[in-house]
Structure 1
Amino acid sequence: MIKLYEQGIYLSHEHGIIPEDKSSPSMNKRDARKGTISWSILSSHNTSGNEDKLKIKFDSMTSHDLTFVGIIQTAKASGMERFPLPYVLTNCHNSLCAVGGTINSDDHIFGLSSAQKYGGIYVPPHISVIHQYMREMMAGGGKMILGSDSHTRYGALGTMAVGEGGGELVKQLLGDTWDIDYPDVVAVYLTGKPAPGVGPHDIALAIIGAVFKRGYVKNKIMEFVGPGVASMSTDFRNSIDVMTTETTCMSSIWQTDEDTRKYLQVHGREKDYVPLSAKDMAYYDGCIEVDLSCIKPMIALPFHPANVYEIDTLNANLSDILREVEIESEKISLGRAKLSLLDKIENGRLRVQQGIIAGCSGGNYVNVIEAANALKHHSCGDNIFSLSVYPSSQPVMMDLTKKGVMNDLMSAGAIIRTAFCGPCFGAGDTPMHNGLSIRHTTRNFPNREGSKPGNGQMSAVALMDARSIAATAVNGGLLTSAAELDCWGAIPEYEFNVSAYKNRVYQGFVKGVTQKPLIYGPNIKDWPEMSELMDNILLNVTSKIMDPVTTTDELIPSGETSSFRSNPLGLAEFTLSRRDPGYVGRSKAISTLEQQRVAGGDLYSLNPELETVFAQIRQLPGQENVSIQQTEIGSMVYAVKPGDGSAREQAASCQRVIGGLANIAQEYATKRYRSNVINWGMLPLQMKEMPDFEVGDFIYIPGIKSALDTDVSDITAWVIGSNGSVKPISLYMEALTPTEREIIKAGSLINYNRKQLHKDAH
């Protein structure tokens, strides 16, 4: 079904995959790399003149209402006067306005006033989810788009799109570049044709399950090629493509064809079509070979999209597999809540409590049509199971309504909702306590459905394709594979109606800037001041997380807390709240010490332990005269592998604004989280050994600022334990660009930008 190659491959138009060791000795690998679609796009956007060290300028950008306020505030503080490229501001995350009073609506109005003042494109709430608008109105062949959402993926339309933290978008707004080493490119070679009832989520989950744990495509580009591409419509491909984020790849791109042209033509943008295909004998750094005809309906059980099984396999081994999930839930909840799944087995079948088809992965036209075909003349039942369907945009909703599809779904008992990303991040359709929800959405991380283990409330999500969710709804909530039904493939042509966008979306990039002021709600706060890095630092181990992976949802919870995104200090109160509830108090206590140090206060009276710590420091070689006033004090989070998941910069900024100076990790799960750590002026430290320190211990690092000017590959630090012990440890940082080094030294991207602005002014 899926084969991973252990070496690079050449892709022949005549022979298909040729493993590197079977290729001709005369092949020039470096030149053959330039035969990929990825090369053609990256090289055309690179401004560095260096094939290996890229400085990318994007064609357009997009953000939603969890992120655009902070991005615009940062760029404004850095001297931005207008948006220099098309910048789309959508309002699809904080769309519900009951939580926190007026603060969500206040963010929306701030977004509109920003689009008017700086020349942006503003998409009001409930009109479209972020990625559907970009597919319908912005993406096209050979383009590059940057978004402050991890699922920024438009590869099926020939656009290489990247999800990054807000700092990277700020750089583009200020005329700077996205700086990366030329990435590895992995071919996803598709053959065959999906069987009836097999949907895009089944294919995506099968690929994620095959590659995630191996890190096979981490920070690489996935390039979808091969004869199997033509077996799927572009709308179908879009739903696979958006899920590539869950492999931890950097971006994705697909070969284009006449169906791609037709998709763009239907949306009134045929001129944006560009034929893209790999050249003969293009070289790839790896290959994922997928026979689409062998893929069966899949399910990703809690608590990760990579926890994948065939639905038939799950149904045949329910007790054994579900018990493993229960054991994992006990670890995740830290004993604060209980999730039971074995009690949901009825006569050998699994009963689920909720179904959701929504967002940029599930709410596409083709998925909703297929679900409606399954449910037509059937009922979801009047028991506990419920089904909600969120079409991905108003134009999609309009055509589904015109064709009677909405009527068929509602007649079956499904609830129809507007375009909203809530079910994807825990702000909509939260299931009951101890409930199991099956969803065609992007993620099923712990608590992402909205549960709160700290309050004794816990539920869980399994990811499935819309077709199998509909089949389950037909059976009243008993888990059912779409392969059990025979109703698939009758999909009428989509008719796009642009009027909802034409009449409601503010097209400020065309209209240009205005003199209108920004409109601030009372919850929208400026970023607090952040200090420059000092040469010597003392880190307090404020949290230590030994889980194999720590997601951004654990670093800063999604869901209703997202309403505080425009208030840095307000949101920071929730940092690690569902994983380490004591973290915020400990970090703020360390922040208070640093504030007193800057003010010249008596820190030893505030924390008598510090006197002993500095007495130990002065026993170290070359540190005999170090004083507390010469040493910056900050908090530190240790996690084995932090940053899987969202691009949200708040996962890092929340640590920073309450005193964070560093992360220490075995590795960083994604480039985007590491970039966020850097852009918020924290040190992205790593260590190869297991940590021999505990919460409350201090780590002293002398000469760290000087190291940023020279060598960061071997940094000696000292662990000063609460028992008075002193032990050396070896830390390092992976490659940093010159700009990244200066950002860390400045204490944040904001500080760096201000320094640059001041330098330019003189």
Structure 2
Amino acid sequence: MIQLYKKGAYLINGTELIEENEETPAKLRNHFIEPIDKNEVKKGTMAYGILSAHNMSDSMEQLKIKFDKLTSHDITFVGIIQTARASGLEEFPVPYVLTNCHNSLCAVGGTINEDDHMFGLSCAKRYGGMYVPPHQAVIHQFAREMLASGGSMILGSDSHTRYGALGTMAIGEGGPELVKQLLSKTYDISMPEVVGVYLTGKPQKGVGPQDIALAIIGAVFKNGYVNNKVMEFIGDGIANLSVDYRIGIDVMTTETTCLSSIWITDDKVKEFYEIHKRPEAYKQLNPQNIAYYDGLVYVDLSEIKPMIAMPFHPSNVYTIDELNANLMDILDEIEKKALVSLDNNTVSYTLKDKVRNGKLYVEQGVIAGCAGGGFENICDAADILKGHYIGADEFSLSVYPASQPIYMELIKNGRAADILETGATIRTAFCGPCFGAGDVPANKGLSIRHSTRNFPNREGSKITNGQIASVALMDARSIAATAANRGYLTSAMEFDTVYTKPHYYFDSTIYENRVYNGVGKPDKTKELKFGPGIVDWPAMIPLADDILLKVVSVIHDPVTTTDELIPSGETSSYRSNPLGLAEFTLSRKDPSYVGKAKEVRVLEDSRRNGKENQELKHIFEIITKEFPDVVEKDTEIGSTIYAVKPGDGSAREQAASCQRVLGGLANIASEYATKRYRSNLINWGMLPFLLEGEEPFTNGDYIFIKDIKKAILEKSDSIKAYVIRNDLEEFSLKLGKLTDDERKIIIDGCLINYNRK
């Protein structure tokens, strides 16, 4: 089904793969190819060509990228613009689109959500941007319809910023990286490796894009095969996929932890742009005649069956047939995994109570957002559902078209009526079900969703309040088959459905009449509209020469998601208020964190104000025995957390900034799950420490680091740190690779301070 090459691979003329091994030179000679420089043919990938065209540096090893367009939604754009304003923003230098698809319901915290929307509209007017009102489109569908173009690059402040199927290399990052672009600076990274994803064959009837995506995620996530790399989709199987289908696979590449994605383009992509009245945006993309990939994922589409990703990660995959055939054994495995993912002292977890007459019963189905809300997904689901009823028991089904133009066409072609008459509901474009702000199941409920993630809490329950619900990811087709069987888990392949595949007609007047487009037309006479919930960032101080860290949380989970670092759901409404939002930091993973972090912040405030503290006095007596020149008043004090592998999932900068405003100075980790979370730490002036082996400290310990600023400036490979007990116990930390600018940002205290300087 899916094969991972142990090494790299050469692609010859876009069709033939030659795996890298001892036989490679002979096979290349058979194609009349003389011994070649591997580094030279790495330039033959589509990714290399696009990155090269957007690189502002004189090196392709250390890239400085300027993007063509930027996009954010209403959870992120307030903080981004506030940061940019504090750094001297005058106008948007590139097209910047502000969508409103996350805090759309305006149901939490009084006026604060709509206040953010009005702030966004006023910013689009003043600085020259585009504003998409609530319920018009989810961020990524609008980008596909109106922003993507062949060979271009888009940076978005949402992790699922992926438009590779349309020939656009798109990257999801934390807000500070967009701030840099708004200040006409660059996105600085080392040249990423490029992994080929060779698709061959044709999907079986009833198998949808989510099935293909989940199969790939299951093969590459745990081993980190594509971590922080570019996935380049090639192969004869692509021609067998519609553009909607390709988009459905592409958006889920985020869950592999890759950096970005890009696909070959063809006449079907050309037609997509023509349908959306932007034919000039099409560009044919193909690898060169010889291209080298640093790894290769070989996917036979014809062998993949309908899949399900069981709680609590998209990589926890099984075929639906496998699950149904081995139901109790697999549910037992899930319960064991739940002990790692959940605080089992707070809630008891089981899915075995869902088994009725030997079948798995689910209480909810959702087809939504940037992954599930596409036109083809919904039409195929409607074909399966036609003539069936979802019943009057616990099971419910909600469908969220990804944009108003899609919704309009579903109404015009009758598919909306087909869905509604089954007892299902259709909602407007909204990302809420994907991050726990819509369709929250009942306690102990099980929801099947064609959306992007199924992390703990992602469905909206609160484990620390004794609530627990579960999400399993599935394709829209199998969700519809399950709905047709009134909640009993069913593969779409069990239905001999005639898929009608109606043509899509895009109604552009919906956007023309409703979306504000001020790109390139800033009006500095326009006043910004601030609601009372929009608060400026608190001041951050530059890094001191010496630092004292107190460990306030230790997390031993294999992976810690950004949802656990700063929860989604209703907390999203507070993201325009840095201190208000910080109150929720780690609230669903370690509820004691905020209080402990604040206690450390009080110690730092006392130090700055020259107030004596008996606890610190004792700590510094131990330190000065070894380092007599260390002075308490000159040693910065901050909190730190330890997590094995933090930062999987969302791009939200608040996972780092909330720690920072509470006095956080560092994270310590075995590794960081994503580049974007590590970048968020750096941009908020926090030290992204790496620790090899088991931690020599425990929760509550103090750690002293002398001459940290010197170590950063001198690019020290290893940094001496000391756990403070009865004396100093030495151990080593590393910072990993940092650019010169990143070093300056950390020393200055945060990106805002760096930009001001």
The TM-score range, normalised by the shorter chain, is: over 0.9
Aligned equivalent of 1:656: 660
CA distance in 2, matches of 1:166, 1:582: 27
1:458, distance to aligned residue in structure 2 (A):
0.7
Alignment partner for residue 619 of structure 1, among 599, 622, 625?
625
1:510, distance to aligned residue in structure 2 (A):
4.6
When the two chains are superposed, the root-mean-square deviation of aligned CA atoms in Å is 1.0
Alignment partner for residue 229 of structure 2, among 188, 201, 220?
220
Deviations 1:105-138 (A, max 9, x none): 0000000000000001000000000000000000
1:326, distance to aligned residue in structure 2 (A):
2.1
Aligned equivalent of 1:11: 11
1:548, distance to aligned residue in structure 2 (A):
0.5
Matches within 5 A, 1:346-495: 346-495=356-505
Q: Write the letter of the residue equivalent to 2:653.
A: E
1:512, distance to aligned residue in structure 2 (A):
3.4
Aligned equivalent of 2:744: 742
1:338, distance to aligned residue in structure 2 (A):
2.5
User: Contact (CA 8 Å) 1:338, 1:434: kept in 2 or not?
Assistant: no
Aligned equivalent of 2:330: 321
SS in 1 for 2:549: strand
1:51, distance to aligned residue in structure 2 (A):
1.4
SS in 2 for 1:539: strand
CA distance in 2, matches of 1:294, 1:215: 23
Deviations 1:372-431 (A, max 9, x none): 000111101111000000000000000010001110000001111000000000000000
Matches within 5 A, 1:177-188: 177-188=186-197
Matches within 5 A, 1:497-646: 497-604=507-614, 608=615, 610-620=616-626, 623-646=627-650
Deviations 1:251-293 (A, max 9, x none): 0000000000000000001111000001122000000000000
CA distance in 1, matches of 2:66, 2:680: 19
User: Contact (CA 8 Å) 2:14, 2:235: kept in 1 or not?
Assistant: no
CA distance in 1, matches of 2:419, 2:624: 72
Could you tell which deviates more after superposition, 315-324 or 173-182?
Answer: 315-324
Alignment partner for residue 244 of structure 1, among 247, 250, 253?
253
CA distance in 2, matches of 1:496, 1:299: 32
CA distance in 2, matches of 1:206, 1:533: 45
Aligned equivalent of 1:41: 50
Aligned equivalent of 1:277: 286
Q: Write the letter of the residue equivalent to 1:695.
A: N
Q: Write the letter of the residue equivalent to 1:261.
A: K
User: Contact (CA 8 Å) 1:29, 1:283: kept in 2 or not?
Assistant: yes
1:514, distance to aligned residue in structure 2 (A):
4.2
Q: TM-score, normalised by structure 1?
A: 0.97
User: Contact (CA 8 Å) 2:174, 2:653: kept in 1 or not?
Assistant: yes
1:627, distance to aligned residue in structure 2 (A):
1.8
Aligned equivalent of 1:719: 723
Aligned equivalent of 2:733: 731
CA distance in 1, matches of 2:636, 2:288: 54
Matches within 5 A, 1:25-424: 26-331=35-340, 332-424=342-434
SS in 2 for 1:480: coil
CA distance in 1, matches of 2:388, 2:248: 26
SS in 1 for 2:274: helix
Matched, 1:683 2:687: yes
Q: Which runs of 5+ in 2 are unaligned?
A: 26-33
Count of paired positions: 747
Q: Write the letter of the residue equivalent to 1:114.
A: C
1:49, distance to aligned residue in structure 2 (A):
1.4
SS in 2 for 1:372: helix
1:434, distance to aligned residue in structure 2 (A):
0.3
User: Contact (CA 8 Å) 1:339, 1:459: kept in 2 or not?
Assistant: no
Seq. identity, %: 61
SS in 2 for 1:509: coil
Aligned equivalent of 1:760: none
Deviations 1:1-56 (A, max 9, x none): 00000111000127611012233371211110111000110000001011111000
SS in 2 for 1:54: strand
Alignment partner for residue 699 of structure 1, among 703, 707, 713?
703
1:88, distance to aligned residue in structure 2 (A):
0.5
Q: Which runs of 5+ in 1 are unaligned?
A: 756-762
CA distance in 2, matches of 1:248, 1:712: 28
CA distance in 2, matches of 1:93, 1:334: 30
CA distance in 2, matches of 1:699, 1:484: 59
Deviations 1:718-747 (A, max 9, x none): 0013xx253111000111000000000000
Cα distance, 1:85–1:15 mapped onto 2, change above 3 Å: closer
CA distance in 2, matches of 1:692, 1:334: 26
CA distance in 2, matches of 1:488, 1:502: 36
CA distance in 2, matches of 1:322, 1:569: 41
SS in 2 for 1:201: helix
User: Contact (CA 8 Å) 1:197, 1:488: kept in 2 or not?
Assistant: no
Cα distance, 1:681–1:547 mapped onto 2, change above 3 Å: same
Q: Write the letter of the residue equivalent to 1:375.
A: L
CA distance in 2, matches of 1:532, 1:627: 17
Cα distance, 1:627–1:129 mapped onto 2, change above 3 Å: same
CA distance in 1, matches of 2:15, 2:246: 24
Deviations 1:314-356 (A, max 9, x none): 1111111112222333441342122321011112210000000
